[in-house]
Amino acid sequence: MIKCNYHTHTVFCDGSDTPEELVKAALEKNFFALGFSGHSYTQMDKDFAMTSEKATEYRAEIAELKEKYSGKIEILCGVEQDYFSEEPTDCYDYVIGSVHYVFKNGEYIAVDNTAEIIKNAVQKLYGGDFDALAEDYFSLVSDVARKTNADIIGHFDLVSKYSEQNGWGESERFLAAAEKAVKALVPYGKPFEINTGAMARGKRSIPYPSPAILKMINENAGDIIFSSDCHNKNFLDYGFCEAVSLAKSIGFKRAAIIKSGKFSFISL
């Protein structure tokens, strides 16, 4: 079983728990490591992301917890850096690089806010063509490692968060765009999350990335890392058993972890 999580949100951004509440929950689950990943500031995401001032407070609180719980659990202070964020990241232990928006005709489209928002954007800006939006999204994703200096590739196919509700499948165009992004990212050597966050929130029945995309990652010799994208301490390891089983069924033999501040691998 996976006993660590590096994609964890707190009250400093859009999570529901304090950092210490999450540390205690991790200890109850016998975690050996917990990484926090507050959302970096972006102009279009003021309600959920950390301001520069909040980010300073966040880092200070995580530093205190590192000291307080030293010897009990390894605590890391990371950041989830959005593609459109210009905030510095060199003050963090690691960076999750993510794309949450597509910019089209002067508008930022949040791909993960609500099913209605993305459906309306597809109708208004793409003439009802979801695949066209997905192609724009994956074009940004293909550049996310370079743009954010990511150590981890976050929820690769986030654009499909509401596909089940909106009746959008993985067409040939969708998968071709995804494969192009996979091939662009694998050479960076950064693990792709298998992310169960949307499952925990009842928005998706399978992890990110989908099985078809995970097969692409495996076929191109990409690595994986397990993540719950936790916004609530009760779901800190949600779906990990299912995610591990999925990864093994596709052919992955190992997964990345962070130990003593460095990436290494465990066998599945």
Q: What is the tens place of the pLDDT at every residue in 4-35?
A: 999 999 999 999 999 999 999 999 999 999 99
Q: From the CA atom positions of the chain, what is the Rg in Å?
A: 17
Number of domains in the chain: 1
Say what the alpha-carbon torsion angle 200, 91, 55, 191 is, to the nearest 10 degrees.
-10
pLDDT class for 1, splitting at 50, 70, 90? confident
pLDDT class for 46, splitting at 50, 70, 90? confident
Residue owning tokens 């508008």 = 107
Q: Which domain holds residue 55?
A: 4-267
Distances (CA, A) of 17 to 23, 63, 64, 201, 257: 10, 17, 17, 15, 24
The chain-wide mean pLDDT, for the chain, equals 97
Q: For the segment 164-203, what is each residue's pLDDT rounded down to a tens digit?
A: 999 999 999 999 999 999 999 999 999 999 999 999 999 9
What is the percent of the chain with per-residue pLDDT over 90, rounded to a whole number? 96
- Whether the CB-CB separation of 155 and 138 falls below 8 Å is answered with no
**Res 113: pLDDT:** 94
The yes-or-no verdict on residue 107 having pLDDT over 80 is yes
Distances (CA, A) of 5 to 76, 192, 196, 248: 10, 14, 11, 19
Q: Angle, nearest 10°, between helix axes 211-219 and 172-185?
A: 40
Is the sign of the CA dihedral 158, 33, 238, 16 positive or negative? negative
CATH code of residue 216: 3.20.20.140
- The C-alpha atoms of residue 200 and residue 197 are separated, in whole angstroms, by 5
